[in-house]
Amino acid sequence: MSDKSSNKWFLFPRPNPAAALRLFCFHYAGGSAQVFHDWPRHLPPSVEMGAIQLPGRGHRLREPHIRRLVPLSRIVAQELAPYLDKPFVFFGHSLGALLCFETARSLRRENRCQPAHLFISATEAPHGRMREESFSGLSKSELVKKLREFNGTPVEVLQNDELLDLMLPTVRADFEICETYEYHPESPLECPMTIYGGLEDHGVEAGRLAAWSEMTVGASEIRMIPGDHFYLNSSRSIFLQTFVGDLLRLRLQN
C-alpha cells in the first residue's frame, strides 16, 4: 500500500498498520480534519482512524474549494483506493454525513469495496431533505450571526476579523455544497447504519433521522445524544463513549 503521508486527502494522526479496521471520518461544513485530531486516543487499538481533509483548509488552504457534492464524492472514492485493503467504516457529521453516503455510492458504482458500516451524524436522510436555507450568499455580518446561532464555531474565532477572513470562504463553499446537493435515487446500500442525533437539535429531529433506514437493506439504529447540532463538541465525552461502544460491537460481530 502507498505511504499514507503522501495522500493529502486523508490525515492519519496515529498510524496503526496492525489495525483490523479503518475508520474514515468526514467533517462538518466549515470544519477540517482537525475536528477529529484527538479521537485516536479514545478508539480501540484494533481501529485506525483517517480524517478527510478537503481542499481550502488546513495544509490545503491555498487549494480551490470544491462546491458540488457528487463530483467531490467521486474524487474521494478514487483517493480512498489505496486504503481499501482491509475492512473500513465511515463516520460523517452533518455535511460529512452526506459526503460519506455519496462516497459509499460512488465506490459501489466503481465496483470497489463497500464500507462495513456507515455512522451518520446530525443530518436528515438525503431523499427527505427539506430545501436548504441559503447561507452561502449572506453578508459577512449576517453569516457570522448564523454561525453564532449554530453554536459550532469558537467565540474567539467569531470575534477575530483576521481568522474570519480565512475561515468564511470555506464556510461559504461548504454551505454551497449543501444548498446545491440533489439526491438521485439508486438501490439502497447493503451496509448497516447507525444514525446519531442531538436531543436539542430542532433542525434535525428524530423523525427525519429515521428515514435513513430506507437508504440501506441492512440494519439501522438511531441514537440520540444530549445537545444541539454540535453535540459532537458540547457532549463530546458522552458521544465518544457511545460511538466507541458501537465500534466495539461492530468488531465483535465481524
Task: Catalogue the active-site residues.
Answer: 94
User: What is the C-alpha separation between 229 and 174, in angstroms, rounded?
Assistant: 16
| Dihedral (CA of 48, 53, 57, 59) sign | positive
Q: Which amino acid is at 152?
A: G
Task: Give per-residue burial for 212-249: e unless 16+ CB within 10 Å, then b.
Answer: bbebbeeebebbbbebbbbbbbbbbeebeebbeebbee
3-class DSSP assignment, residue 53 = coil
Pair 218, 193: CB distance under 8 Å = yes
Which residue reads 445524544 in cell numbers?
225
